[in-house]
Amino acid sequence: MSEHDHDEERGVSRRKVLECMTWAGSGVLWTIAGGVPRSMGLVEAARAAEAPGLSFLQISDSHVGFDKPANPNAIGTLEEAINKINAMDKKPSFMIHTGDITHLSKVAEFDNADKIISQAKLDVHYVPGEHDFLDEEIKLYKDRYGKGTKGAGWYSFDAGGVHFIGLVNVVDLKAGGLGNLGAEQLEWLEDDIKGTSKSTPIVVFAHIPLWTVYPQWGWGTEDGGRALEYLKGFGSVTVLNGHIHQVMQKVEGNVTFHTARSTAFPQPAPGAAPSPGPMKVEDAKLRSMLGVASINFKQGDERLAIIDTPLQA
Amino acid sequence: MTLTNTRGMHRHAARLLVAAALLLPFGGAHAQEVQVMIDNFTFSPQELTVKVGDTVTWTNRDDIPHTVVSAGKFRSKALDTDNTFSFTFASAGDYKYFCSLHPHMTGMIKVE
């Protein structure tokens, strides 16, 4: 880690952001101050994690039911992730799950996922991935997690001074296109944030990245830009996604985009393989490519920090 | 007698019609089974030309489920690894299709 010369005073260049993304070892912590991200040393990171304020967790892409060579025991690694969460010094306030809870939307998969995730004894706010809408009537996800949501399952809530918005961008996808929010959801979003003060930190979470990561693999959202347009006036916007099974971060003005690791299997870096399918790595390496993210927000400091923690360093 | 004869003729005509109906759209012994493979998030061949009456079978060989959807024409369930979906094309035309889970995956069946 020390070979990476992380400047603590100046903003981190794009090149450095990419360097940081390659750590993949112990947790990387980003703080957002005035829209400029800074990486911090681990001591400072630990201090930030202990500070009072809101802290919540993101887990993603648990793909319960997946049993292919890239990870024959996806349910086992989900359990490891939950055990890791239970072992944390400071209990987070709640958890968000950014979709692909199951691999094939089977009842048993939803049951098993719930059995394990509930062991964290935290409230969980879900958004669906495309793998959660595969049952014939598309009702298993909605019956479990759709209560009090609009449309295909979008909603918002407030916690610790932050406004959270859960979006669905995995339905009604168009041939040749990317993820899709749709007119009805965008209209709802515009209306939802009307009463929210511009100084309120916003956290948007959805399955497929809202920013264009790699369109050749469908990694982006067709009308994601329209959603971000509505959020333009806000001082602090954090967009948390899954779907691509790897950590990626981009900062654009006051918007931080971040994707979390999967707890099930890694996927290749954009363009690094013939397809985005599950990537088989050495057994010893697998757990360094799976993990969870914790997000800390300190009231007054107006900053939001994201720590990606692999199952095994 | 007259009545019986007429009935017999009707029956004969009906048989002929059924035979014609069977022959015309399905091309008799010429109907073929054609395969499309799904590998690495790609339909191959991506474009395929078949005859009216031919049956196309898609096989998913990825470790991720895919679907085969042609708006208003056909729609498979989510195909897990090694699952297949077949569709018999009864009329000519261009059938564009895609995977509704990974919409960047597109293909086309031309039916002549």
Torsion of CA A185, B79, A241, A288, to 10 degrees: 170
DSSP helix/strand/coil, A16: helix
Neighbour-count burial of A14, counting CB atoms closer than 10 A to its CB (0-12 exposed, 13-18 middle, 19+ buried): exposed
Neighbour-count burial of A3, counting CB atoms closer than 10 A to its CB (0-12 exposed, 13-18 middle, 19+ buried): exposed
- Number of A:B CB contacts under 8 A? 56
pLDDT, tens digit (0-9, with 9 covering 90-100), for A228-275: 999 999 999 999 999 999 999 999 988 999 999 999 999 999 999 999
DSSP B47-93: EEEE-TT-EEEEEE-SSS-B--EETTTEE---B-TT-EEEEE--S-E
Mean pLDDT of A1-23: 40
Torsion of CA A140, A143, A146, A148, to 10 degrees: 170
Distance, CA of A269 to chain centre:
17
Residues B37 and B82: beta-carbon distance below 8 Å: no
pLDDT, tens digit (0-9, with 9 covering 90-100), for A98-144: 999 999 999 999 999 999 999 999 999 999 999 999 999 999 999 99
CB contacts, 8 Å: A70 with chain B: 63
Question: Whole-angstrom Cα distance, residue A238 to residue A231?
Answer: 10
Question: Whole-angstrom Cα distance, residue A151 to residue A79?
Answer: 31
Please report the residues numbered 76 through 105 in chain B whose beta carbons come closer than 8 angstroms to any beta carbon of chain A: 77-78, 80-81, 96-98, 100-104
Residues B110 and B89: beta-carbon distance below 8 Å: no
Please report the residues numbered 31 through 50 in chain B whose beta carbons come closer than 8 angstroms to any beta carbon of chain A: 40-42
Q: In the structure encoding, which two tokens stand for residue A186, read together?
A: 């965008």
Distance, CA of A215 to chain centre:
19
pTM given for the model: 0.82
ipTM: 0.81
Say whether A176 and B40 touch across the interface (CB within 8 A): no
Q: What is the mean pLDDT of chain B?
A: 84
Chain B residue closest in CA terms to A170: B101
Nearest-5° Cα angle at B100, B96 to B101:
145
**Min Cα–Cα distance to chain A from B92, Å:** 21
CB contacts, 8 Å: A175 with chain B: 71, 96-98, 103, 106
